[in-house]
Structure 1
């Protein structure tokens, strides 16, 4: 059972918090399942990027409580499942905590290992594309959770 799901990207202001809030919504905010996110190079305490927040809001998701967090070894060790946006993030995770390799996967694992590109400082279209990927990939994971 996956009771502690950690989603990882770099800054923890675009992709990972968007995936976190999407997955929480899809799981029905079950209190026994903790879904949280962090960044390998987090912009600590920053809110969700305004464009990502707008997209979430347009889909009825409130992410106003988010504050970016730096990924720690303890977060990784305590997670039951770790989902990363890119292969290089998995490398960074494994460098920080090699013992978590067996529970670390790409968010796009069920879609041929597709990665989620970083939309930071890019156009609304880039954020739309990323949102659609996150929506699809979180749907894919819900089937297994």
Structure 2
């Protein structure tokens, strides 16, 4: 009986926290000035997902390729719940290679305190990951954002396609590409655009 009550309380607290994080992300989507300024100033960007085999890998490789030769910035990816040494999903490898990006050497890594501490901006894929970062790395909360929050035309959360068919993986990668466009625009146009002054 007591254990059941505790489980229900924990579930209730989690639902409240999810709602709060979702509202924070929705507010940021309406007024993205803080994230825009952060991206303009960032020299180290950390992109996280669960396993570091699909979403964060693809996003990090695309962003790094887009910024190469245009801006000095370190783009890293890691997993919040992974085993080190997993290779990137075959669909990620194929999509990257079609864009002349080589992710073949990628092996998954677990996020560390040092990675988070040295990152200027941390981007995650869904609300549960916002919560995980806030819980595990409390000081990083104010610099952690949803990857897709700058793209109001796409869903704010990018679901995990692991275990699903290739069509679902491709849809996820398409989602990432669309969500990444404003991030690239902001990070490449900071010196001349009004983004930094937003």
Q: TM-score range by the shorter chain?
A: over 0.9
Where do 1:1-145 residues align within 5 Å?
1-28=41-68, 32-112=72-152, 114-145=156-187
TM norm structure 2: 0.69
- Larger CA deviation: 59-68 vs 2-11: 59-68
Cα deviation, 1:48-81, whole Å, max 9, x if unaligned, reads 0112212222232210121111011221111000
Partner Cα distance (1:111, 1:137) in 2: 5
Question: How far 1:30 moved relative to its partner?
Answer: 5.5
Partner Cα distance (1:143, 1:71) in 2: 27
Q: Does the CA contact (< 8 Å) of 2:66 and 2:184 recur in 1?
A: yes
SS at match of 1:8: strand
Q: Does the CA contact (< 8 Å) of 2:91 and 2:170 recur in 1?
A: no
SS at match of 1:35: strand
SS at match of 1:143: helix
Larger Rg: 2
Partner Cα distance (1:87, 1:15) in 2: 14
Gaps (5+ residues) in structure 1? none
Greater helix proportion: 2
Partner Cα distance (1:29, 1:15) in 2: 24
Superposition RMSD on alpha carbons, in Å? 1.5
Q: Does the CA contact (< 8 Å) of 1:84 and 1:104 recur in 2?
A: yes
Cα deviation, 1:82-114, whole Å, max 9, x if unaligned, reads 000001001111111111111100000112461
Aligned residue pairs, count: 145
Partner Cα distance (2:165, 2:182) in 1: 26
Partner Cα distance (2:165, 2:48) in 1: 22
TM norm structure 1: 0.93
Gaps (5+ residues) in structure 2? 1-40, 188-198
